[in-house]
Every structure is written in C-alpha cells, then in structure tokens.
Amino acid sequence: MMCADTMSTGLDSVELAECLKLYDIEGYLFDQVGPRFRDEDAMEPFDFFAIVSWKSNRTKTKIKKGLDDAGKTVQELMTEVAQAETSRDQVEVLLPVWGIGLAMASAILTVCYPETFTVLDYRAWDVLEGASLQGLPEHYPVTPEEYLDYCAVCRQLAEQAGMSLRKLDRALWAMSWRDGLRKLVQSS
C-alpha cells in the first residue's frame, strides 16, 4: 500500500497536526486559550470566536456584529475583562455586547477563569435545581448576581465532590443527557 506524501497533496503535516488539536475544542480552549489569556491578559479574535462557537455556534455572526456595533475589537473587550476588578465587573463588561447574554458570558469567563466561573447551561441547571441545593437562585439565572450565586453553589459542590469546577460542569451536563436518554429508551 502506498501512502500519499502530504506535501504532494497540498496538505502540510504540521498544519494537520495543529488542526487535530482543534478537533478536541474543549481541550484546545482549556489547555491553550485559557492559560494564554491568563498569561497575556489578552485574547486573539480566533480564540474568542472558538469559545463562542463551542458554546453556541449559531451566535458567532450576531456577536461579531455586536462587537462592530459597539465599536470594540475582541482585544479591547477581553483587555477590559482582564482589567475588571471583581467577578461581577468581569460579567458586566461582556453583557453590553449585542449577542453576548449571560450564558455566553459564562462560557467566555469559564475558559478564562475556570476556578471562578462555570458555564451556565440549562442541562446543568436542571440537575442542580432538582437537587434543591441551598444558595441556588430561585430560577434560572438572568442577572449577574444570580449567575455569581450559581457559580458559588457549583464551587461548593465541586469541592464537596472532590473535583474541579470544570469537571463538575461536565458531570452535571452528562447526568442530564444520560437521564434524558434513559427516559427516551424507557418510553420505547
């Protein structure tokens, strides 16, 4: 069997290896984008929109337009996030950009600061709401304060479970997915 030379096909093996890293988008975001942001207090547009696409691919053009309408670049916005004094300020820097709601802001901040923030997602919310945890907002968070309360409850639960905040978020998402799939199978 003959192997095609990647150079003769126009495909560069180095570029293919770089693209392979992007296939595991979550790994790319948390292993490369987040640490790079924390080191540099800055973010390139590609990395910003990789986060946006990871959370909700359909919103990327809306957010691009929101940045344009606000007269801000990704670099300016993310520098403001890095310079914000409090967690609440970090959330509030993102929200005025059209297309960035609380859930999207949570994804951006989770990649940037995974020890402080967690992704606001209806699947994780449903599991936590069903567990009737103390300190959880009375309804799905719609304000920065409610989102920060949600994060605090998640941090406490992650500590009790002996896992990182990110692992807790993934476990809650998977629990909701699993339970939904079980219901589907049982109704067959």
In angstroms, how far is CA 185 from the centroid of its own chain? 30
Taking CA 108 as the corner, what is the angle to CA 20 and CA 151, rounded to the nearest 5 degrees?
120
pLDDT tens digits, residue range 31-56? 999 999 999 999 999 999 999 999 99
pLDDT tens digits, residue range 68-119? 999 999 999 999 999 999 999 999 999 999 999 999 999 999 999 999 999 9
